[in-house]
Amino acid sequence: MKIKKQIISRKEHSVSRDAISDNALKVLYRLKDAGYQAYLVGGGVRDLLLGKKPKDFDVATDAHPDDVKRLFRNCRLIGRRFRLAHILYGRDVIEVATFRGPHEGNSPNHAGQNKEGRIIRDNVYGSLEEDALRRDFSINALYYNIRDDSIIDFTGGMDDLHNKMLRMIGDVDTRYREDPVRMLRAVRFAAKLNFQMDQQTNDLIFDLGHLLEDIPVARLFDETIKLFQGGYGLRCFQLLREYQLFELLFPMTEASINSTEHQGRTLRLIEQALSNTDERIASGKSVNPAFFLAVLLWYPMHEYKNHFIEHGEHEIEALLSASREAITRQQAHTSIPKRFSLMMREIWHMQPQLQHPTRKRAMRTLLNKRFRAGYDFLLLRNETGETELESWCAWWTDIQTKNKSEQESMCENLGKGQKKPRRQNKRRHSKTGRQNTPHPAGNAKNAANSSVSSE
Ligand code: ATP
Ligand code: MG
């Protein structure tokens, strides 16, 4: 690619120091005062130029990580693949990265690629210009110089920002192979910024998407959270499906979306949940990834549940087995940390009690620490077309407005004059039915090796 260094002076751009967080400024000043180069880079500069509030501030410097550690008492060095310094101010973290250089031909101790061209270590330091060329997109490679408030652009990032264009720096094929997660990042930025991808950045995703299958599942989980919980989840989801990447991350969910069994409800449930999540984030409310993961896997889990029931398990027993099964199989594609998988199960396991509350257990359900999540989940199921939930949604909504004794009497009245919920026919569960259960909607990478969870 043609490299043309451009310096945009303070007068010619819209980034002002006032918009940069105090902590980021502190880091920049301290580095500068110690004689190092110090730049704000990445999303911080990009978002400020676009008039958006940056999510976080990243700093690039020629100081080595050990030098950074010496300068800041509140510094942690992290990462093996990329050695980075985190400067901690309470919960606010400023990430400081030493300029990276090209990895070809370097000592295997510092940089390395595997045989598919994927970078497995990246700790070779370089110049500012080299650092720019190692970044992903031109709009992410703009450097705000704390010395004179200018912005340095080596890759045409300013023009691309102006033209709403997402362009991979360098040879797109090589850059996607070096780190296939860049494809997910491309989708995320296209969704968040409402930018078009340039042709190669766009087209090669279709050819190289499959490389994501070799990425560690924990990293894919982190990216998934950024995609769905970053405030632009619905658009990210739609784009991931357009680029045929969603099926690589959540194959069971994609199969369920495409199956005729749920009459479009899988898609409606996901889209509604994402639209609610985006709204919550826009109004500053918190979101819990477990809720959305429970949404994504609800219908796939259901298909397992039906399968277990067909093999003689009782309804509740089948729900427990199916929850384990769906989560274990998903973990072959994106990990799910235990704290989230526990909550997903709690949400799912509460559903039978919410849709058929009984006198004995309704009060306990109401007092469950996950009640709110379980109840929201029930409302969402109802809203997106599951039948026979309407009156129970109203009942649970109503009970929350009552005082303690009214609540108790509402629970007492349950079951009076009502038919007991019909029980599934209770055959002994067959061991063979539980092992190696194929996903009823087909597919799933590693279908053969995940059998029933050992969690
Ligand atoms: P946001 O923080 O809003 O999600 P960001 O662009 O700041 O967006 P980060 O993940 O914080 O993204 O990364 C900071 C910068 O580091 C990026 O802007 C980019 O320059 C560089 N970067 C991050 N990940 C990669 C990658 N996989 N390959 C190349 N460069 C990357
Ligand atoms: Mg950032």
Alpha helices of 116-180 — where are they, by DSSP H? 128-134, 157-162, 172-178
- Domain-ending residue, one of 128, 143, 163: 163
140 Cα to the center of ligand 1, angstroms: 7
Number of domains in the chain: 2
Report how far residue 223's alpha carbon sits from residue 228's, in angstroms, rounded to the nearest whole number: 9
Round to whole Å and give the CA distance between 225 and 45.
23
Residue 209, domain member (yes or no):
no
Kind plus residue range of the DSSP H or E element containing 121? strand 119-122
Cα 324 versus chain centre, distance: 21
131 & 222 share domain: no
Does one domain contain both 282 and 431? yes
Band (159; pLDDT cuts 50, 70, 90)? very high
User: Is the pLDDT confidence value at 455 over 70?
Assistant: no
Closest by alpha carbon to 276, among 401, 368, 373, 191? Answer: 373
pLDDT score of 195 = 98
Report how far residue 191's alpha carbon sits from residue 90's, in angstroms, rounded to the nearest whole number.
31
Contact predicate 41/54, CB 8 Å? no
pLDDT at 199: 98
Q: Whose CA is nearest to atom 5 of ligand 1?
A: 43
- Ligand 1 atom nearest 188 alpha carbon: 4
**Dihedral angle, C-alpha 277, 283, 288, 291, nearest 10 °:** -30
The residue among 83 and 58 whose pLDDT is bigger is 58
Runs of H (alpha helix) within 141-211: 157-162, 172-178, 181-193, 199-208
Please determine, for residue 82, whether its predicted confidence score (pLDDT) is greater than 90: no
Q: Is 58 an annotated catalytic residue?
A: yes
For residue 419, pLDDT over 80 is answered with no
Tell how far the Cα of 185 is from the centroid of ligand 1, in angstroms: 8
Task: Kindly write down the DSSP assignment for every residue of 386-447, as one continuous string.
Answer: -SS-HHHHHHHHHHTTS-HHHHHHHHHTTTTT-PPPPPPP-PPPPHHHHTTPPPTT---TTG
Q: Closest residue (by CA) to atom 14 of ligand 1?
A: 42
Q: Which position among 136, 153, 179, 278 bears the catalytic label? A: 136
Q: Do residues 424 and 305 both lie within one domain? A: yes
Residue 188 domain flag = no
Residue 374 lies in a domain: yes
Side chain identity, residue 80: R
Q: Ligand 1 pocket check: which of 129, 136, 187 to mutate, most ligand atoms within 8 Å of Cβ? A: 136
In terms of residue numbers, what domain contains 98? 6-163
- Quick one: 28 and 116 in the same domain? yes
Question: Can you name the residues that pair with 100 across neighbouring β-strands?
Answer: 125
Sign of the torsion angle spanned by Cα atoms 345, 347, 349, 351: negative
Residue 83, SS3? coil
- Residue 66: the pLDDT is 92
Q: Does the pLDDT at position 386 exceed 50?
A: yes
Residues 223 and 153 in one domain: no
Residue 439: the pLDDT is 57
Distance separating the N- and C-terminal Cα atoms of the chain = 50
- Ligand 1 binding site (Cβ under 6 Å of any ligand atom): 42-43, 55-56, 58, 135-136, 140-141, 179, 181-182
The residue nearest atom 16 of ligand 1, judged by CA position, is 42
Q: Are residues 424 and 289 in the same domain?
A: yes
The reply to whether 156 and 229 lie within a common domain is no
422-453 confidence digits (pLDDT tens) = 544 444 444 434 444 555 554 433 333 333 33
Q: Are strands 111-113 and 119-122 parallel, antiparallel or unpaired?
A: antiparallel
Task: Please give the angle made by the CA atoms of 80, 205 and 41, to the nearest 5 degrees.
Answer: 50
Which one of the listed residues 58, 131, 153, 278 is annotated catalytic? 58
Same domain? 224 vs 335: yes
